[in-house]
A and B are shown apart, each in its own frame.
Chain A
């Protein structure tokens, strides 16, 4: 099972990553989450991989779900990296 198919904990802090092999440059991720995803001159995403702030998590997850190639990935980040407390 790939990372894309696993379900993330609703409260877990996440960081975004992009699978450039899968990405076809549709750009909807940059439209939905422009704070952390921009497009390069060819229209492919440049993803800020630092942990996403809690208040931006829903927008990040919407961008992940909207990717038609499932190329945008949300990875859980250990609480130690964000300073947040994660519920077990």
Chain B
């Protein structure tokens, strides 16, 4: 293997790893509030939450590595402009633009969640819904931009179908499946009475 090939191989490897990490991140995120989770005790909700939160920075690192490796590859035709400006790539501009946009979406989604509650009531949840858009953009980016799409196609189809199924079943399942409205008192451990908050 020549050293000239190294950025290309790194870029492809990190891109695939980043996609699989994003798939895990999305899947765990969907499962967090999926109505079917009440039928399954494992993994525990806290574990799902932790895995979801850990996969987010991991995905970011892998994707940033993917971008840097391909920018440093002189033969890839992406360059810094193509990496940061949608449409600025000479190699498959639309496909690369989808990747750039998804990186921006992902960064916004991750940053608002990471900063939730730090400065007032930041509306992180509506922003979090951009994650669906980011996943679709990444999926299309992988299929349209990858030079080895034929080899990867089964993985894209399976992960895409699983994500779509998770997203649709979560939206279509009835809210009445959530159990908490039947047990409003179960959440409290001690008997501190409800008090009115003091005003300034």
Chain A residues in the interface with B (C-beta under 8 A): 3, 6-9, 12, 15, 17-18, 20-21, 23-28, 30-32, 34, 38-51, 61-68, 70, 74-78, 81
Interface size class of B (residues with CB under 8 A): 35 or more
Cβ contact within 8 Å between B117 and A62: yes
Chain B residues in the interface with A (C-beta under 8 A): 32-33, 37-38, 41, 44-46, 48-50, 53, 113, 116-118, 120-125, 178-181, 183-184, 186-192, 194-200
Cβ contact within 8 Å between B200 and A40: no
Across chains A and B, the number of contacting residue pairs, with CB separation under 8 Å, is 134
Complex: A39 Cα to B183 Cα, angstroms: 14
Q: Which residue of A lies closest to B113 (CB)?
A: A28
Q: Which residues in A have their C-beta under 8 angstroms from that of B184?
A: 20-21
Contact of B179 among A28, A42, A46, A81 (CB under 8 A): A42
Complex: A61 Cα to B200 Cα, angstroms: 16
Main secondary structure of the interface of B (DSSP, over half): loop
Q: Which residues in B have their C-beta under 8 angstroms from that of A81?
A: 192
Q: Which residues in B have their C-beta under 8 angstroms from that of A41?
A: 38, 41, 44-45
Cβ contact within 8 Å between A70 and B180: no
Q: A7-B200, A27-B32, A43-B37 are in contact. Are A66 and B192 (CB under 8 A)?
A: no
A48 to chain B, nearest CB (A): 5
Q: Which residue of B lies closest to A59 (CB)?
A: B117
